[in-house]
Amino acid sequence: MPDYALVYDGPGNGSLLAYADSDWASDPNTRKSTSSYVVKLAGAIFSWNMRAQKTIALSSTEAEYMSLSDTSRQLVWVRNLFSELGIELAPIPLFGDNQGSIFITSNPV
């Protein structure tokens, strides 16, 4: 494995970014969507995951919202990890690409 390495070349503290996405009803047999996320630290991928969602989404917006929710839980874990290491983080931006799910997450009602 000496041919692989993480290259951190971004700015210092506050350079965490997260991206979430889903593929609605990607498995025709189970009708379950796929969720995925990537968390980047200083330009390198720090955490990632891709898996079938546990429940069936009735729309692409619902599938994307579930993906944002999974990613948010991971970001809470990352924040706690850094806190235990004595590093306080700025808010971590989370990017999604579905307007409906973005509206739902930004609406406090």
Domain ranges of the chain: 16-98
Residue 13 pLDDT class (50, 70, 90 cuts): low
pLDDT exceeds cutoff 70 at 11: no
pLDDT exceeds cutoff 90 at 37: yes
Q: In Å, how far from its chain's centre is CA 15?
A: 15
Phi, psi of 91 (to 5 degrees): -55, 140
Residue 60 token pair? 């692409």
Residue 105 pLDDT class (50, 70, 90 cuts): confident
- The position carrying tokens 């079938």 is 52
pLDDT exceeds cutoff 70 at 55: yes
pLDDT digits (tens, 9 = 90+) for 80-97: 999 999 988 889 999 998
